[in-house]
Amino acid sequence: MNDITQLRQNVLEKAHQEGQQCLKIATDSLDTDFKERQQQGLHDLKAKRQKELKALEQQFQVAQQQLKNQERQALLALKQDSIKELFEASLEKMTNFSKEEELAFLKQVLSKYPEQPLQVTFGEKTGQKFSSYDCAELRLAFPQLSYNQELIPQEAGFLVSLDQVDDNYLYRYLLESVLKEESSRIIDMLFSEI
């Protein structure tokens, strides 16, 4: 019986060794699988975080660009408002010229047209400042001058007509043309300290 016991013991020992070996293989396989899954999970998590960070960065850049655009729009609106205020203040000042200032400006302009037959049409606000005596004195200084009796409604300044061509000295027009030509320089001057 010894042989049988020995055989049985050998079989059990061999089965135990094979079981241990199978257990080790299974444990190693599970351990390797766990480590691979852990690495994959970490990789996936890292990729997810990278994607979220990229999305957040894009949102930040969009928000930052929107703020820059809003700032640009606000500055542009401020510049436009400043130009408009400057235009309106200048127009008001010119419209409120004294009669002497109006006459000085008119004489300066008329002196550019020596001995050419001219017709002057006043804007309503300027024409109301001159008496018939003022107009007669101007005709003495500029004998080639005639007047259009109709005034240009709600305007200040005047038109000088020469052979079917009108040179526009209405103050609104003069200021608009100056602002059109010089607006960039004016804006630079107004906002150089900002």
Q: Does 31 map to a domain? A: no
Strands laid side by side in the 118-122 sheet:
145-147, 118-122, 157-162, 165-170
* Per-residue model confidence as pLDDT tens digits over 49-72: 999 999 999 999 999 999 999 988
Tell me, yes or no, whether 186 lies in a domain: yes
* Residue 69: inside a domain: no
Q: Is residue 48 part of a domain?
A: no
Which CATH number belongs to the domain containing residue 183 in this structure? 3.30.2320.30
In a domain, 5, yes or no: no
Distances (CA, A) of 84 to 38, 77, 93, 180, 189: 68, 10, 14, 12, 15
Query: Is position 101 within any domain?
Result: yes
pLDDT higher than threshold 80 for residue 100: yes
Asked if the structure places residue 27 within a domain, the reply is no
What is the average per-residue pLDDT within 150-179? 91
Mean pLDDT of the chain: 87
Range of the domain at 118: 97-190
Percent of residues, the chain, with pLDDT higher than 90: 38
Residue 106 lies in a domain: yes
Q: Give pLDDT, residue 193.
A: 59
Q: Are 147 and 116 contacting, i.e. CB atoms less than 8 angstroms apart?
A: no
The total number of structural domains that make up the chain: 1
